[in-house]
A and B are shown apart, each in its own frame.
Chain A
Amino acid sequence: MIGEMLYSGAILMASPEVLLLTFLGVILGLVIGALPGLGPLMGVVLLLPVALYVEPLAGLGLLIAVFVGGSCGGAISAILLRIPGTPIAAATLFDGYPMAQKGRAADALGLAICASSIGGLFGGLLLILFAPLLAAFATRFGPPELTLLGVLGLLSIAVVSREATTKGLLAGMLGMLIATIGTDELSTGYRFTFDSYQMLNGFHIVSIVVGLFAVSEMAWQLIGRDKITGEVPKPARPGLRSLKLIAGHIPNLLRSSTIGTFFGTLPGAGGDISAFTSYAVAKAVAKPEEGYGEGAEGGVVATEAANNATCGGALIPTLSLGIPGDATTAVLMGALLILGLFPGPALFADRPEVVGGIFLVYILANLFLLVLGFLLVPVFVRLLRLPKSSLIPTILVLCAIGTFALQSSVFDLWVMFGFGLLGILLRAADYPLAPVVIGTILGPIVENNFRRSMLISREGLWIFTDRPISMVLLVLCIGLVALAVFVGLRGKALKETVKEA
């Protein structure tokens, strides 16, 4: 089955458009990832409108390649400027920056690229092995299981929300409520449309995502936070020596890639948690003379292998169950839905060539990353000098034109602007933004399956406990709510302790 899927995917992938856009996606991802304050999510958000204008696999290849490149690009500024381009590269600076200070910037960059690429490939391998298995298992899921799976995905995201669990839940439910705007699928009635024909189909997911993440981020950057210190990075070009160096870290590489993939599969865990966990594990098993925190090669390898392996892991539940692993995969899932491809077991059964193509473009992006990373690092280093004053207006114009391009609709532009304002306010109040998007995507899945469950049920809500798989999912949901309460109480204590420190 996997072989056939990959074969048909390879045929689909062997088009110049797919190859070119995957290639370009890695470059753009590296650039966006390297620029402090942006990151893979921003890259995927900004290029989403572009991806919808080309062939489905080419568009998905572009977005997946940006995801892969962006997950690695953050290491460049972390190593050279001590500013992680993305939160997922934060752990890389523990040893990457000391390496650069000791005159080993080229080695650190080379190790980061190699580890990212190999970690990504490892994640891709597990994606190819496990996603079809999980999808095959998920064919047993009916409406009750799909309802609870959606709830579970949202709860997971909320529980691990960095800011606060209850705020994550509120943001997620707001997203679910936003998803109800428009024509109801079952009754065909109009909800919250206020007699406006433009709202009959609800808000376009791209307008929501671009506004929430990109517009609010640009306004946030103008407040003066996350400002580049003005330090000019020294030129550095990694060489083939890095391949020799990485060969000395195989156990660390495999362990960190496994950790990264595992955390990727958990909705909400994300690259930053996996990178910090891998770093902690690598440090714990290392000998004291390796000097973690003072420029140890193993530190860079552990964090970079983990955060790129997370990409592959995050795609497993996204493709096989339709539950996005994080905000970036939520946007990728949004792209799949817009393209008429519904993630889940049906996608594997009905469009195996697309699934195979996605697997292969992911693998290809990681291979491109290895080559392009080595060749173009000096260019990316120069890009770190790009002034924010040019970057912010360019991104804003890209947001406007990209959103307009979707349906040539001025209404979409104002929706984007409105969500930009909402995003600024939510950021200021320490609310996580990702659950809003995930709630918007999972909302219709949860609602429609819940109502279908009620239709087929003879005992009302007991249908959720009658079936073994839904019972397990229900127990997991209840466990997560209990964990949320526990984390909420304990989190407060931890925050206070940190403040005191």
Chain B
Amino acid sequence: MRLKTLHAELSVAAIFVAVVALVFQQTRGDMVEQGIASGGPYSNAASYPEALGIAIAAVLVLTLVPRLWAARRQSRPGISVVELARPAAMLLAFAAYLEALGVLGYLVSTPFFMALIMYLAGERAPIQLIAVPLSVTVALSLVFGGLLDVVLPRGQFGIALSW
């Protein structure tokens, strides 16, 4: 199975439609309740997002109609679903890493995350899989924690290097 550019374009179009719907839901609901959806230019904070919503809807139609018309005659090969497995796994791992930062902290979660992504990207040498994540973790901790005084996530166990 292959995902074509048209599929992505339709997904983006769906997002735009959802965004426009959300704009009007908010301007006609929440903003009316706050009293910022009417009056002069100073107090009316809803007219600008509404105008943008209308413009987005209009340009979306202008973009999509010719595209759908052209799609009847031509279609590009697109990306195989198998090819998307690695980026999808990367995104899942990244989401897990962001969550783990709050629980395990930077020092514990980063080497595991890096090793996993390296493995996904095709690295198989054990020394590389251990040495690169550890050295990068310590180096970034030095730059951010040591030089820039950033308090890196310590997690629930409070693990951190003191520079």
A381 is an interface residue with CB less than 8 A from chain B: no
B42 is an interface residue with CB less than 8 A from chain A: yes
Apart from the given pairs A190-B30, A224-B86, A428-B8, 13 other A-B contacts in the complex at a CB distance below 8 Å = A173-B56, A177-B52, A180-B52, A191-B31, A222-B87, A387-B123, A393-B118, A394-B136, A396-B117, A450-B41, A450-B48, A451-B41, A492-B70
Cross-chain pairs A/B with CB under 8 angstroms, 22 sampled? A174-B56, A177-B53, A180-B48, A180-B52, A186-B42, A192-B23, A222-B90, A223-B84, A396-B113, A397-B136, A398-B140, A401-B140, A405-B148, A410-B102, A413-B101, A414-B98, A424-B87, A425-B15, A428-B79, A429-B5, A429-B12, A430-B9
A364 to B74 alpha-carbon distance, docked (Å): 52
Contact B60 A186 (CB under 8 A): no
A260 to B121 alpha-carbon distance, docked (Å): 38
Contact A397 B110 (CB under 8 A): yes
Contacts of B12 in A (CB 8 A): 425-426, 429, 431
B162 is an interface residue with CB less than 8 A from chain A: no
Contacts A219-B90, A390-B132, A405-B150; A164 near B98 (Cβ below 8 A): no
Within 8 A of B (CB), among A369-420: 387-390, 392-394, 396-398, 400-401, 404-405, 408, 410, 413-414, 417, 420
Nearest Cβ on chain A to B146's Cβ, whole angstroms: 12
B59 is an interface residue with CB less than 8 A from chain A: yes
Contact B45 A167 (CB under 8 A): no
Q: Which residues of A contact B (CB under 8 A)?
A: 50, 53-54, 164, 166-167, 169-170, 173-174, 176-177, 180, 184, 186-187, 189-192, 215, 218-220, 222-224, 387-390, 392-394, 396-398, 400-401, 404-405, 408, 410, 413-414, 417, 420-422, 424-426, 428-431, 447, 450-452, 454-455, 492, 499
Contacts A222-B86, A396-B94, A451-B42; A410 near B101 (Cβ below 8 A): yes
Contact A173 B55 (CB under 8 A): yes
Contacts of A167 in B (CB 8 A): 63
A400 to B96 alpha-carbon distance, docked (Å): 12
Contact A189 B45 (CB under 8 A): yes
Q: Is the interface of A mostly helix, strand, loop or mixed?
A: helix
Closest to B39 in A: A187
Contact of A429 among B11, B56, B128 (CB under 8 A): B11
B126 is an interface residue with CB less than 8 A from chain A: no
The 7 closest A-B pairs by CB, nearest first: A189-B36, A428-B8, A389-B121, A393-B117, A454-B41, A389-B123, A429-B8
What is the count of residue pairs linking A and B with beta-carbon distances less than 8 angstroms? 190
Give how many B residues have a beta carbon under 8 Å from the other chain's beta carbons.
76
Contacts of B22 in A (CB 8 A): 192
Contacts of B148 in A (CB 8 A): 50, 53-54, 405
Contact B98 A410 (CB under 8 A): yes
Contacts of B35 in A (CB 8 A): 189
Nearest Cβ on chain A to B43's Cβ, whole angstroms: 5
Question: Of A53, A54, A389, A452, which is in contact with the most chain B CB atoms at under 10 Å from its CB?
Answer: A389
Question: Of A53, A388, A396, A398, which is in contact with the most chain B CB atoms at under 10 Å from its CB?
Answer: A396
Contact A187 B114 (CB under 8 A): no
B91 is an interface residue with CB less than 8 A from chain A: yes
A215 to B87 alpha-carbon distance, docked (Å): 10
Contact of A166 among B3, B26, B63 (CB under 8 A): B63
Contact A413 B98 (CB under 8 A): yes
A190 to B5 alpha-carbon distance, docked (Å): 37
Q: Is the interface of B mostly helix, strand, loop or mixed?
A: helix
Taken residue by residue from 1 to 30, chain B's Cβ proximity to chain A (1 for < 8 Å, 0 otherwise) reads as 001010011011001100100110010001
A191 to B27 alpha-carbon distance, docked (Å): 8
Closest to B122 in A: A389
Closest to B53 in A: A177
Contacts of B9 in A (CB 8 A): 429-430
Contacts of A189 in B (CB 8 A): 31, 34-36, 45
Nearest Cβ on chain B to A325's Cβ, whole angstroms: 23
Closest to A54 in B: B148
Contacts A401-B140, A401-B144, A451-B48; A389 near B152 (Cβ below 8 A): no
Nearest Cβ on chain B to A120's Cβ, whole angstroms: 27
Contact A425 B36 (CB under 8 A): no
Nearest Cβ on chain B to A225's Cβ, whole angstroms: 9
A16 to B31 alpha-carbon distance, docked (Å): 51
A190 to B3 alpha-carbon distance, docked (Å): 39
Contact of B26 among A169, A191, A223, A410 (CB under 8 A): A191
B66 is an interface residue with CB less than 8 A from chain A: yes
Within 8 A of A (CB), among B59-101: 59-60, 62-63, 66, 70, 74, 79, 83-84, 86-87, 90-91, 94-95, 97-98, 101
Nearest Cβ on chain B to A285's Cβ, whole angstroms: 38
Nearest Cβ on chain B to A406's Cβ, whole angstroms: 9
Contacts A187-B44, A430-B5; A177 near B121 (Cβ below 8 A): no
A425 to B13 alpha-carbon distance, docked (Å): 11
Contact of A224 among B19, B40, B83, B151 (CB under 8 A): B83
